[in-house]
Amino acid sequence: MTTLQGPAIFLAQFIGNEAPFNSLEGICAWAKSLGYQGVQLPTTDTRFIDLKLAAESQTYADELKGKVNAAGLEITELSTHLQGQLVAVNPAYDKLFDGFAPEAVRNNPLARQQWATQQLAYAAKASRRLGLKAHATFSGALLWPMVYPWPQRPAGLVEEGFAELGRRWRPILDEFDAQGIDLCYEVHPGEDLHDGISYEMFLTEVNDHPRACLLYDPSHFVLQCLDYLDYINIYHERIKMFHVKDAEFNPTGRQGVYGGYQSWVNRAGRFRSLGDGQVDFKAVFSKMAQYDFPGWAVLEWECALKNSEDGAREGAQFIKDHIIRVTDKAFDDFVATEANPAFNKTLLGL
């Protein structure tokens, strides 16, 4: 069995314009002071990583890795959540998602998609240069406006949506395969890959591509009322990344899964800091140990109530306390007998 690596922290929600959150060296020193051993890097802020240069220059990649290592940390993975979102955008969201893209490709969906696809290709090469094994992204969404079928969806709409999603992602997956990197989709409401069934539909369209893997985050399944422990049983062979994030779902007579257009604080389902929500992390970490999860336990802080720095500080210890150092022997080894094929046959009357 395998002991999880960690704790690590996803930096996206902590990057800012004031020290120590405005430079790679500063934020790494801060993370190390809280007890983290690794950082997961978003790739849209050039103060932290020049993704194109990291893809093209081994010298730059080594320097980037050296800065993180100098703080006593490792880079766990890179993230292209925002760029992956732009690989597939329904026209209903064009204006909203243009904010994720550089100005040069805004108001031009095709150019925006091409830019996003190139970003993923850079991420694959940069991950290899950094010596990483997995990468985090979103699938994007062509069908999300039609997730609840009213008016009735036209026949063939879902099938065509997933066929197109597969066509867009297949060359990206091939590039990740060429670089030896697992591409891990964060299964997430708002994405066409938002639960197990939608993920399986996508796998069909990419011919069960070996690099089409998963980032496991139980918080998104709490809000969907999906069995997040059985999900590990079903998909553990594809789970290559792990976001440790908590959530709670408290439906009332007034609202449920859809939240009634309320703010995060006032929704029945909302994200919480680790230990403040409803996720059974003892069971989650046990499942990950049981199935030999090979990667990092990475805090993703998103909480409607608690201060982010408090959430980060508490999260490091929470993850450390939940990582199971797996046993190297069976508990009843003290009464074991030596292997003896002849004796075994005698016991069986053979």
DSSP per-residue codes, 206-237 = TTT-TTEEEEE-THHHHTTT--HHHHHHHHTT
Q: Confidence band (pLDDT; 50, 70, 90) for 197?
A: very high
- Average the pLDDT over 156-160 and give the result: 98
**Which amino acid, residue 229?**
L
What is the pLDDT at residue 331?
A: 82
For residue 79, what is the domain's CATH number? 3.20.20.150
Q: How do residues 19-46 score in pLDDT, each as one tens digit? A: 999 999 999 999 999 999 999 999 999 9
- Average the pLDDT over 298-318 and give the result: 97
Give the pairing of strands 182-186 and 134-137.
parallel
Q: Confidence band (pLDDT; 50, 70, 90) for 338?
A: confident
**153 has pLDDT over 80:** yes
All residues at 6 or more sequence positions from 100 whose CB lies less than 8 Å from its CB, including other chains = 44, 82, 83, 85, 86
Share of the chain above pLDDT 70, in %: 100
Determine contact, residues 91/140, Cβ cutoff 8 Å. no
Q: How do residues 277-296 score in pLDDT, each as one tens digit? A: 999 999 999 999 999 999 99
Determine contact, residues 228/243, Cβ cutoff 8 Å. no
Q: How do residues 70-80 score in pLDDT, each as one tens digit? A: 999 999 999 99
Q: Which of 44, 36, 52 is CA-nearest to residue 15?
A: 44
- Average the pLDDT over 141-150 and give the result: 96
Query: For all residues of the chain together, what is the average pLDDT?
Result: 97
Q: How many domains in the chain?
A: 1
**100 has pLDDT over 90:** yes
What is the pLDDT at residue 330?
A: 84
Determine contact, residues 42/81, Cβ cutoff 8 Å. yes
Q: Which domain holds residue 144?
A: 5-347
**301 has pLDDT over 80:** yes
Please state, in angstroms and as integers, the Cα–Cα distance from residue 136 to each residue in 146, 149, 192, 217, 230, following that order: 25, 30, 16, 12, 22
DSSP reduced 3-state for 334: helix
| Residue 183 parent element (H or E) | strand 182-186
